[in-house]
Amino acid sequence: METYNPWTVVNVVFHHLAAQGLHPVLGGADPGAPAAELLRALGIEPAAEGDRQVGERVKKHLADIRAAVFEENGRDSL
C-alpha cells in the first residue's frame, strides 16, 4: 500500500487547477478543514497524526534531548 502526505495531494490539485486558469482558495486562516474535505472528496482519508516526516524529526529531537540529559546526569553522579 502506498501512502501520501495529504498536503502533497492538496498541493498537486491546486497546481493543476491554477494551470487550468482557475484560482482556488482554501478557506481562511486555517486551511485544515477545507483541505481535509477536499481530500475526502478525492477518496483520501487524511491522517490525524499529520506529516510522518515531521513526526519522525520530533521523535529524533526528543531522543537527542534525552541522550544529552542522561549523559550529563551520568557524568554528575560519578
Which pLDDT tens digit goes with each residue over 28-58? 666 677 777 877 888 877 776 656 667 788 8
pLDDT at 25 over 50: yes
What does the mean pLDDT of the chain come to? Answer: 76
Residue 29 is given by DSSP the state S
Q: State how far the Cα of 54 lies from the Cα of 41, in Å rounded to an integer.
A: 25
If pLDDT is split at 50, 70 and 90, which confidence band does 62 have? very high
- 62-64-70-75 Cα dihedral, nearest 10 degrees: -160
Q: In the predicted model, what is the mean pLDDT of residues 13-23?
A: 85
pLDDT at 70 over 80: yes
Q: State how far the Cα of 45 lies from the Cα of 47, in Å rounded to an integer.
A: 6
Q: State how far the Cα of 58 lies from the Cα of 65, in Å rounded to an integer.
A: 11
pLDDT at 64 over 80: yes
